[in-house]
């Protein structure tokens, strides 16, 4: 998967620039407020910082739909150009008004990168390493912050630090981002398929996967365009094939499922008890409906996907990992093994021209390959099948379907909770927060000024984040997104509680500084392992291809509005209630987030994007049924 990895690394440069910008404004604002006499005007100081967030919010309102129209790659190119222009204007900035304009333009670039890089990586990555690759933006963002803090610290040692250079040097790395987006990054294959450009999508997939045979995955992408209708899950248990089902006397009761990789097959066996339930005993959903109060409160999607991951064997990496998701894909009969496809892998992609009015043609074309499977070697019945029972359901826009609305609720809520846990406000004002906590006591023996000490501690804090993100990358596809959130959120609450205690209980200055700084470091490190990258990863995974850009824009708009509120209000909160009050509020939000994740956030590791939305459709349908009808 070298091609997919390199493309993800190149795209994540946009988040490197975002991290660089976050750190430079955190250091430069110390000098900006002195030059423009903003010490007595915390609202103006907050506006200088928040202007980039306002720009990101403005551009996010239309970036998603535009990316659905023109593609992901052109929007990433636009992001690099805006970063470049913003850096040059900040380098000039003769007064606070030009500085505000520069921060606005810079915010446009940040908004495009933060919104579209996770989407782009999700659409180009294979399922088994998608979580790891989508953690790269968090890693590169923290790396950009660390490099920026190093630069700022060196500049603070000079007699007269220049904040314009601190901010304006952004234009240098933005040139690298512009180069890779123009000359290296391909267009998203899923977007190409959605526009009917099948041959281009096939070429991109071959480059990303490092092999010529991508027929199965092409069929998966085409069929995924039809997701979003009413969905029904048949009662099958899926497991690895132990032999040729055709030679077994039970062949009539088994179905061999083929995935996109040649030579791999699993067997689906019907569960006793028929098809009367949505999942039957195979996924144990009845237990979740009639178990403890916690199980009864849990969202149906959480129960569905949790049962799937419990039943399926653990991924061993490589092709097997993608099979875990492929065996659950709707109408998997279209994804017969390459050996069973007429003409092998040379199917005519141009026979399929996806558009808003030709889903029926897509499905007819794809299903033709799987008609003659009387020998038991092919797929006799899908595990997921779309049931178009009436005209209204069939013609309903994807963005208006219950599964999409269900996914939007999950995505928007987790973005709100992430922002109001306070991370971005803390990052922007880390030097000032640590200075207020008394960290200068820790490094007084070195003869550093208060500004230099705060920035040095901020840089070291950011450096400590990098190994934590490395651990998250390792666990994201092994333990899963949901598990990481459930492990790290309690630690966030505990670290915030310690920080509150340190600022309430009287203690020696050195002990107070050490305890406060340690709590902030633990908070940062645990945040970047879970609550930092996972909301964006989830939002890039749970929406259909046709409306993914639009839905991501809605989630990103929520992200930026929350970011503006937190960042703009933090100076006022610090001056009114102090660190203890601020972090008490953040701890309460983290508690609410823990409950929400436990009840509403499903596990999505290892599943193709096209299958995840089907589970949201099932969950939305299940949630509307009376309990006695559901089981």
**Cα dist. 298→15, 289, 402 in Å?**
34, 9, 18
What is the pLDDT of the chain when averaged over all its residues? Answer: 75
What is the topology classification, in CATH, of domain 1-185? Growth Hormone; Chain: A; (1.20.1250)
pLDDT at 291: 57
pLDDT at 439: 64
pLDDT at 132: 93
Report residue 10 as tokens.
């190149």
Decide: helix, strand or coil at residue 505. coil
Q: Note the helical H segments in 420-508.
A: 423-428, 430-436, 450-476, 481-504
Write the pLDDT tens digit of every residue in 534-564: 999 999 999 888 888 889 999 999 988 887 7
pLDDT at 587: 92
pLDDT at 151: 93
Query: Structural domain boundaries of the chain?
Result: 1-185, 399-622
Q: Length of the chain, please?
A: 631
pLDDT at 16: 96
Distance CA 106, CA 18 (A): 9
CB neighbours of 412 closer than 8 A, spacing ≥ 6? 554, 555, 558
Of the candidates 21, 129, 122, the one whose C-alpha atom is nearest the C-alpha of residue 79 is 21
Distance CA 539, CA 413 (A): 11
- CA count, 13 A, side-chain hemisphere, 130: 30
Centroid of chain to Cα 552: 10
Decide: helix, strand or coil at residue 380. coil
- CA count, 13 A, side-chain hemisphere, 363: 15
Distance CA 226, CA 240 (A): 28
- The torsion angles phi and psi of 621, rounded to 5 degrees, stand at -70, -45
Query: Which residues of the chain are modeled with pLDDT < 70?
Result: 224-292, 310-400, 424-445, 621-631
Assess if CATH 1.10.1370.40 describes domain 399-622: no
Decide: helix, strand or coil at residue 258. strand
pLDDT at 260: 40
User: Do 1-185 and 399-622 fold alike per CATH?
Assistant: yes
Q: What is the pTM of this model?
A: 0.77
pLDDT at 200: 92
Write the pLDDT tens digit of every residue in 88-140: 999 999 988 899 999 999 999 999 999 999 999 999 999 889 999 999 999 99
Cβ count near 480 (within 10 Å): 21
For residues 542, 128, 532 and 558, what is the CA-based torsion angle, rounded to 10 degrees? -20
Q: Note the helical H segments in 342-385.
A: 359-368
Q: Of all helices (H) and strands (E), which one includes residue 606? A: none
Distance CA 41, CA 484 (A): 40
């Amino acid at each position: 998967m070298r091609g997919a990895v390199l493309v993800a690394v190149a795209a994540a440069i946009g988040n490197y620039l975002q991290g660089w910008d976050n750190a430079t404004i955190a250091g430069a604002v110390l000098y900006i407020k002195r030059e423009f006499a903003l010490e007595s005007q915390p609202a103006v100081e907050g506006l200088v910082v928040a202007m980039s967030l306002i720009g990101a919010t403005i551009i996010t309102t239309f970036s998603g739909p535009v990316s659905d129209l023109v593609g992901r790659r052109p929007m990433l190119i636009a992001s690099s150009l805006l970063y470049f222009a913003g850096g040059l204007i900040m380098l000039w900035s003769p007064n606070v008004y030009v500085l505000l304009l520069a921060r606005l333009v810079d915010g446009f670039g940040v908004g495009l990168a933060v919104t579209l890089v996770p989407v782009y990586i999700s659409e180009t990555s294979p399922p088994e390493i998608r979580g790891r690759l989508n953690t790269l933006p968090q890693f590169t963002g923290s790396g950009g912050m660390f490099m920026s803090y190093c630069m700022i610290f060196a500049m603070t040692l000079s007699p007269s630090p220049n904040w314009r250079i601190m901010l304006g040097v952004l234009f240098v790395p933005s040139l690298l981002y512009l180069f890779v987006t123009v000359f290296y990054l391909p267009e998203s294959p899923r977007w190409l398929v959605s526009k009917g450009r099948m041959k281009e999508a096939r070429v991109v997939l071959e480059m990303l996967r490092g092999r010529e045979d991508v027929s199965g995955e092409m069929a998966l992408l085409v069929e995924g365009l039809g997701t979003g209708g009413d969905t029904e899950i048949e009662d099958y248990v899926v497991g690895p094939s132990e032999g040729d089902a055709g030679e077994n006397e039970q062949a009539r009761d088994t179905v061999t499922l083929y995935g996109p990789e040649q030579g791999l097959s699993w067997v689906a066996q019907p569960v006793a008890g028929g098809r009367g339930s949505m999942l039957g005993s195979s996924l144990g959903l009845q237990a979740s409906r009639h178990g403890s109060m916690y199980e009864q409160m849990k969202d149906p999607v959480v129960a569905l996907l949790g049962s799937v991951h419990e039943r399926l064997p653990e991924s061993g990496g490589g092709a097997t990992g993608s099979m875990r998701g492929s065996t659950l894909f709707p109408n998997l009969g279209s994804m017969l093994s390459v050996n069973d496809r007429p003409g092998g892998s040379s199917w005519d992609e141009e026979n399929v021209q996806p558009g808003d009015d030709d889903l029926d043609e897509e499905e007819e074309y794809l299903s033709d390959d799987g008609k003659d499977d009387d020998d038991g070697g092919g797929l006799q019945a899908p595990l997921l099948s779309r049931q178009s029972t009436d005209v209204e359901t069939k013609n309903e826009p994807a963005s208006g379907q219950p599964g999409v609305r269900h996914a939007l609720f999950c995505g928007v809520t987790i973005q709100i909770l992430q922002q109001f846990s306070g991370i971005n406000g803390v990052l922007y004002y880390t030097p000032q927060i640590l200075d207020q906590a008394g960290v200068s006591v820790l490094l007084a023996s070195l003869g550093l000024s208060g500004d230099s000490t705060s920035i040095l501690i901020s840089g070291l804090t950011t450096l400590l984040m990098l190994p934590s993100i490395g651990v998250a990358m390792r666990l994201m596809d092994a333990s899963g997104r949901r598990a990481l959130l459930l492990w790290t959120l309690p630690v966030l609450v505990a670290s915030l509680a310690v920080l509150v205690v340190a600022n309430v209980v009287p203690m020696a200055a050195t002990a107070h500084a050490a305890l406060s700084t340690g709590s902030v470091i633990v908070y940062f490190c645990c945040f970047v392992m879970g609550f930092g990258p996972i909301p964006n990863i989830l939002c890039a995974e749970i929406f259909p291809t046709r409306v993914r850009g639009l839905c991501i824009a809605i989630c990103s708009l929520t992200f930026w509005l929350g970011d503006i509120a937190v960042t703009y209000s933090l100076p006022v909160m610090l001056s009114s209630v102090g660190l203890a009050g601020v972090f008490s509020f953040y701890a309460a939000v983290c508690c609410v987030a823990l409950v929400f994740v436990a009840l509403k956030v499903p596990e999505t590791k290892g599943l193709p994007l096209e299958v995840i939305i089907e589970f949201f459709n099932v969950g939305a349908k299940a949630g509307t049924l009376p309990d006695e009808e559901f089981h």
